[in-house]
Amino acid sequence: MFNKVDFKEDILKILKIHFGKSLDNSLSNEKYYAVSKAIMNLITDNWIKTDIKYKEGKEAYYFSAEYLMGRALGNNLINLGLYEDVKEVLNELEIDINNIENLEEDAGLGNGGLGRLAACFMDSSATLSLPVTGYGLRYNYGIFKQEFKNGFQVEKADNWLKHGDPWSVKREEDTVIVDFSDSKVKAVPYDTPIIGYGTNNVNTLRLWQAEPIMEFDFTLFNEQEYDKSVKEKNRAEDITRVLYPNDSKEEGKILRLKQQYLLASASLQDLIREFKLRNIDFSEFPKYHAIQLNDTHPVVAIPELMRLLIDGEGLDWSKAWEITQKTFAYTNHTILSEALEKWYVPLFKKVLPRIYEIITLIDERFVEELKSKNIKEDKIEEMRIISNELIHMAWLAIHGTYTTNGVAQLHTDILKNQELNDWYKLYPNRFQNKTNGITPRRWIALANKELTDFIAELLGQEDWLTDLSMLKELEKYSDDEEILNKFLGIKREKKEQLARYIKEEEGIDINIDSIFDIQIKRLHEYKRQLLNAFHILDLYYRIKENPNMDFVPKTFIFGAKAAPGYFRAKGIIKYINEIAKLINNDPKVNEKIKVVFVHNYRVSYAEKLFPAADVSEQISTAGKEASGTGNMKFMLNGTPTLGTYDGANVEIVEEAGEDNNFIFGARVEEIEEMKKNNSYDPEKYYENIKGLKRVVDTLIDGTFDDEGTGMFEELYDALLKGASWHEPDHYFIFRDFDDYRKSHEEVSNAYKDKLVWAKKCWINMANAGKFNSDRTIRQYAEEIWSINSKRI
């Protein structure tokens, strides 16, 4: 039971103990810290009870290099059901809850969808009272902070810990040692509570931080060799200093491999230490542990468990391998062959020689298995875990686990029938689909309180936040003019809120009455932000030619970060910013279209963007996006999809109907046919599609300035000449350009009739129930992990 008086006293006490201050003279970030710690005090008993309860039986462990958690305060209050109570207490203390929420740094320990999915899964596991623990790395600096300088992306350090981290507890007593060929480091765990919604259960996210065995060499320091005295400390801390360090050079690749191994080794040592307290045979290990490998980053855990069982516990190979295969499951997140992680043998061997030995033995035994099945030599060579001086981590993952799952039905079908067909034939019973989902607690209850309250009012209760299928009941209002107008009123309110925020953050005024067309996701060529940019520029030229054309005003909003070493992606950002400068500074056009590339796209920014969108841009090349989860967040907030038949878009259309969304472009089958017959000719589209050549040529004709970097010419050449590793227009931008343009015209026509538009939005929201991460996690629990709910 929440006691407001006690909570208020807790806040004041924490301010006094931690900062030596009273409420009157404490800083805003100190107040944030005190409020957060007071909430930690509320949940600690339940956190301890949950841990004890879960240890009674089998548990699942989610190994992920990324957890894009975002801000904790608001989300935790929503899940505790205490948001309004705490707000009332803070009002009495003259503390603005919105102010301290905005002071919290995003825990940006992820790059995009992969890390945000992991965060949603943690929320759902706790909400369902499922015994699931997350394991990851506690990076000192998360995904970089993005700024724009003359339109170029500039990366700044993301010091998310600068005000401390009130939401984690350092567990020094659980420290383990991780060995590399050239050093040993301490892996120190920090535990973060994951608070479930509508339950007393509090799950755990354990993040490892690398620390030196010896803080500094006193003798060297005394001899005034200051840099040398802290060399070991710096090298150790480098391992968890930055999320995904640039690996364009060998040093960066070594650092990434060390990150992956630290995560795997520390986590497995942790589990084995706990298991040994049971005093039972190691053959029972899979009975108590299911480990999900989130993509290939933690797959080195497979040979590491073998090492720990053989070298550490004295098991023979066959027994250790049986345990290993029964313990691990693998989630594949990509169809892109270039994104299936591979390690160069000399580098891997240099850093982890014993692990390399074990992988070679796994590979040799695997070859024998394939020969026993009369598989041809050339096929064996294609499937070998080690071939052409490369270790194929995805192959190791499929072979060394008991299930491999895709993350949307189309993705899984492509894996089974095309990309991993040989593996599917070998292990047909191991392949599963688990369509991704999102947590409604953050992505509507926190991000869109107005719509949340309206839905609760219509449904007459709030259980829908754990049973999203109840939204289907709202379909009966799809022709109710009064309801739809209230719904449009909420959408307008969210657009006004976003417009104010964009004015504050970006200094740009946007038209509330325009269509908010939003594409927010990681910057990658296959996601085709460039297609969006070409269309916007084509629109600009058409308006210039015909100023009186019938036109619905549009605001195009982008949010994306490019990996620091990804030259083309950074070129696309610069190009879009050049287009924005051209359009936004043209008084004859900027009242009809406006372009905004928000800087430093992150979870807290996303929470403002998703609810305000009129159009959800999901325009990846068909067959390239494994799932997507942004498409689900838009849908839940009542936004139609403008997209290709790709990833989870397919299932969104199945749920809400193609007539309530805007689907365009080549389908997977057509693309595969063109590839098979080598029949795709980008030049044909470039020369013959009206307006296309004009916009593409702006990359090289001097319309825009890339300041001598060669970025724009490189983009042009990639489209028309190809490169050493791909053919021209690898992602079929030219093929889909005219279809995309026509879909935009359909959007504009539909938007003119407000009630027709509102109905499309409403039906999308009412059919978003499938895309709840609670559903996804329940399927993992039942069909992969074999674990049950355990409420305290």
DSSP letters spanning 312-355: IT---HHHHHHHHHHHEEEE-----GGGS-EEEHHHHHHH-HHH
Please indicate, yes or no, whether residues 18 and 121 belong to a single structural domain of this protein: no
Q: What is the tens place of the pLDDT at every residue in 115-152?
A: 999 999 999 999 999 999 999 999 999 999 999 999 99
4 is catalytic: no
Q: 30 in a domain, yes or no?
A: yes
> Checking DSSP bridges between strand 152-156 and strand 145-149, what pairing results, if any?
antiparallel
Please indicate, yes or no, whether residues 419 and 505 belong to a single structural domain of this protein: no
Q: Which of 338, 264, 323, 321 is nearest to 294 (CA)?
A: 264
Please indicate, yes or no, whether residues 582 and 555 belong to a single structural domain of this protein: yes
Q: 166 in a domain, yes or no?
A: yes
Reported pTM: 0.97
Q: Which of 168, 192, 143 is nearest to 606 (CA)?
A: 143
H or E, element range at 237? helix 231-238
Please indicate, yes or no, whether residues 16 and 118 belong to a single structural domain of this protein: no
How many Å apart are CA 46 and CA 487, to the nearest integer? Answer: 38
Q: 792 in a domain, yes or no?
A: no
Q: For residue 482, what are the contacts with CB-CB under 8 A and spacing of at least 6?
A: none
Please indicate, yes or no, whether residues 81 and 67 belong to a single structural domain of this protein: no
Residue 565 corresponds to which tokens in the numbers above? 């070493």
Q: For residue 75, what are the contacts with CB-CB under 8 A and spacing of at least 6?
A: 123, 441, 442, 446
Please indicate, yes or no, whether residues 224 and 356 belong to a single structural domain of this protein: yes
Please indicate, yes or no, whether residues 529 and 432 belong to a single structural domain of this protein: no
Q: Which domain holds residue 744?
A: 440-771
Catalytic member of 633, 741, 744, 770: 633
- Judge contact between 150 and 570, C-beta under 8 A: no
Residue 413 corresponds to which tokens in the numbers above? 């079908």
Please indicate, yes or no, whether residues 50 and 126 belong to a single structural domain of this protein: no
- Judge contact between 286 and 245, C-beta under 8 A: no
Q: 791 in a domain, yes or no?
A: no
Residue 326: phi and psi, rounded to 5, are -85, -10
Please indicate, yes or no, whether residues 91 and 146 belong to a single structural domain of this protein: no
Q: 790 in a domain, yes or no?
A: no
How many Å apart are CA 242 and CA 256, to the nearest integer? Answer: 10
Q: What is the tens place of the pLDDT at every residue in 175-214?
A: 999 999 999 999 999 999 999 999 999 999 999 999 999 8
Catalytic member of 494, 522, 561, 730: 522
pLDDT at position 13, please?
Answer: 97
Q: For residue 312, what are the contacts with CB-CB under 8 A and spacing of at least 6?
A: 272
333 is catalytic: yes
Give the three-class secondary structure for 232: helix
Q: What is the tens place of the pLDDT at every residue in 696-716?
A: 999 999 999 999 999 999 999
pLDDT at position 43, please?
Answer: 97
Please indicate, yes or no, whether residues 398 and 459 belong to a single structural domain of this protein: no
723 pairs with which residues across the strands? 726
Looking up tokens 């990434």 gives 256
DSSP state of 141: B
Please indicate, yes or no, whether residues 13 and 119 belong to a single structural domain of this protein: no
CATH number at residue 141: 3.40.50.2000
Report how far Cα 498 is from the mean position of its chain's Cα atoms.
22
- Judge contact between 16 and 34, C-beta under 8 A: no
pLDDT at position 531, please?
Answer: 98
Please indicate, yes or no, whether residues 98 and 137 belong to a single structural domain of this protein: no
Q: 296 in a domain, yes or no?
A: yes
Q: 153 in a domain, yes or no?
A: yes
pLDDT at position 215, please?
Answer: 81
Catalytic member of 50, 240, 629, 641: 629
Residue 628 corresponds to which tokens in the numbers above? 């997507």
- Report the number of distinct structural domains present in the chain: 3
Catalytic member of 333, 491, 524, 570: 333
pLDDT at position 112, please?
Answer: 85
Q: 477 in a domain, yes or no?
A: yes
